[in-house]
Amino acid sequence: MLPGKASDRGVTARDNRLFVEAVLWVARTGAPWRDLPDSYGHWHRVYVRYERWSRKVFWLKLMASLAGDADLEHMMVDGCIVRVHQHDAAKKQSAAEAMGKSRGGLSTKIHATVDALGNPLRLLLIPGQASEYEQASALIDGFACEVVLADKGYDSAVFGNTIQCMGADAVIPSKRNRLHPRTLDRHLYKARNLVERFFLKLKQFRRIATRYERLARNDQAMLSLVSAVIWLA
């Protein structure tokens, strides 16, 4: 799935494996790019290549290719807040870079959709103070499944109608102020722990647990690479 192919001039991107291992080392340790061990090559060349693949949306395409083998019996959505490192805060247009001020400082919220086995299907980034249900419909757009599971933070009429229009059932606890609470299948709702476990797997990578990427595009790329590793685990 990696760029590079055989030609009359030889094989391009012969060191793809070493390059991906270098990026994964940075993702796992959370270390600055400058601290990349020499055995992986010069740090600046590795970073420039990583950023170029990010601009070409390759990392997202990699995860999307693996997600084509998803189990769509049901899907789960949830969000998780991560702190933004003070040295990597965007100086302007923080909202455009999916950064927002919350009680603990600058933060980013990762929204995820996972399949019935807990494997990632879609990841979205928004500022940390933004409401969860604003991105809910975008998380399931284009998918077809039987059931959508989410916590009560996603309980809204708009999201419920979106789930109904896709021919699925909503397993979402009702908020206290809902006039007509929906029936909840509590046994099926227990399966929602798979999306929580997915976030635990994500946060084993320190560059995900704390956001070090200044650009939302590069942070999305790092998330996509780690998600691809989770798919292959």
**Domain-by-domain residue ranges, the chain?**
6-56, 69-232
| pLDDT at residue number 22 | 96
Cα distance between residue 134 and residue 26, in whole Å:
32
pTM of the model: 0.87
CB 170, CB 181: distance < 8 Å? no
User: With bands split at pLDDT 50, 70 and 90, how would you rate the model's confidence at 89?
Assistant: low
pLDDT at 54 over 80: yes
End-to-end CA distance of the chain: 16
The packing angle between helices 216-232 and 58-66, to 10°, is 30
User: With bands split at pLDDT 50, 70 and 90, how would you rate the model's confidence at 3?
Assistant: confident
Residue type, 158: V
**Domain 69-232 class, CATH top level:** alpha beta
| pLDDT at residue number 191 | 92
pLDDT at 92 over 70: no
Cα distance between residue 222 and residue 62, in whole Å:
12
Among the ranges given (35-39, 118-122, 175-179), the one the predictor scored with the smallest mean pLDDT: 175-179
User: With bands split at pLDDT 50, 70 and 90, how would you rate the model's confidence at 6?
Assistant: low
pLDDT at 154 over 90: no
- In DSSP terms, which residues pair with 79 in a beta bridge? 111
Q: Which helix (H) or strand (E) holds 225?
A: helix 216-232
Average pLDDT of the segment spanning 180-192: 89
| pLDDT at residue number 94 | 61
In terms of pLDDT, which residue wins out, 21 or 184? Answer: 21
| pLDDT at residue number 211 | 93
pLDDT at 140 over 80: yes
Output the CA torsion sign for 186, 187, 188, 193.
Answer: positive
Structure tokens at 201: 């797997």
Residue type, 172: I
Average pLDDT of the segment spanning 160-178: 89
Q: Which helix (H) or strand (E) holds 106?
A: strand 105-114
Among the ranges given (23-37, 67-81, 89-103, 163-177), the one the predictor scored with the smallest mean pLDDT: 89-103
User: With bands split at pLDDT 50, 70 and 90, how would you rate the model's confidence at 182?
Assistant: confident
Burial 205-220 (b: 16+ CB within 10 A, else e): bebbeebbbbbbbbbb
| pLDDT at residue number 37 | 97
| pLDDT at residue number 5 | 64
Average pLDDT of the segment spanning 27-49: 95
Q: How far is CA 213 from CA 5, 45, 88, 222, in A?
A: 30, 17, 6, 9
Average pLDDT of the segment spanning 21-37: 96
